[in-house]
Amino acid sequence: MKTRILILLSALMLSAMPMAAQQKFACVNTDYVLRSVPDYANAQKRLDKYVTDWQKELSDKQAEIEVMRAEYEQESYLLPDNLKTRRQEEIKSREQSLRNLQQQRFGPGGDLDKKRAELLKPVQDRVYAAIERIAQEKNYAFVFDKAGSPAVLFANKKYDISDDVLQSLGYKPGASPAPDATDEPKKKPTNPEMRQRDDLRPGRDRSDLKPKK
């Protein structure tokens, strides 16, 4: 029985080989393409500005809470119980407001995700449309993204359509990539580059965006 199954599997594999051989494959480096599109770099800078302002907003509110807590600790032994309770509740209320604002700015579906979709996704959609157009014109069965993907271990340059995508978008291949946040001094990135088209990776870790105590 096992022998018959092995023979059947071998026959299926052999019959599938001609079909696979007829399929055309290509790869594209979306990191390279996006860095070469000025609109994307400009949108990334605008997003970074929002993030910087929001981080400062959270840091300022955190500093205010620290001052309130320090003043309370210095004065608490002089305060009657009712004033102690009132001051403690005020501090807790400020802390809760800060957590709510932090969630609003950087939580899933928050302001960062909305701004990322508003500013970056239109450019990403143009790139994906160009990739799809080239794939259809050249009859590619699959187009792989080799931008930092561990699944692509080797890609022959002649199957790389990144420059074709740039030409389709109206940009000259091989030109110096447009400056973006990756060319600036090291700081926390606000965009994980284009890994998924629809959700722009809303589930990524945002712990680095929390205000420091």
> Domain coordinates of the chain in residue numbers?
23-204
Comparison of pLDDT for 162 and 87, the residue scoring more: 87
Single-letter code of the amino acid located at 205:
D
Spatial separation of the C-alpha atoms in residues 124 and 47, rounded to whole Å:
15
* pLDDT for res 152: 53
The answer to whether residues 96 and 103 touch, using CB atoms and an 8 Å cutoff, is: no
- Report the 10 Å Cβ neighbour count for 158: 7
Comparison of pLDDT for 46 and 204, the residue scoring more: 46
**What mean pLDDT is predicted for residues 50-78?**
94
Spatial separation of the C-alpha atoms in residues 15 and 12, rounded to whole Å:
5
Spatial separation of the C-alpha atoms in residues 190 and 89, rounded to whole Å:
34
**What mean pLDDT is predicted for residues 129-140?**
86
Burial (CB < 10 A; 0-12, 13-18, 19+), residue 85, is: exposed
Helix residue spans in 107-180 (DSSP H)? 111-119, 121-137, 162-169
Spatial separation of the C-alpha atoms in residues 163 and 153, rounded to whole Å:
20
Tens of pLDDT, residues 138-192: 888 778 888 775 555 445 666 677 888 888 888 877 765 554 444 444 444 444 3
Comparison of pLDDT for 162 and 195, the residue scoring more: 162
Positive/negative CA dihedral, 213, 87, 89, 108: negative
**What mean pLDDT is predicted for residues 113-131?**
92
**What mean pLDDT is predicted for residues 84-105?**
96
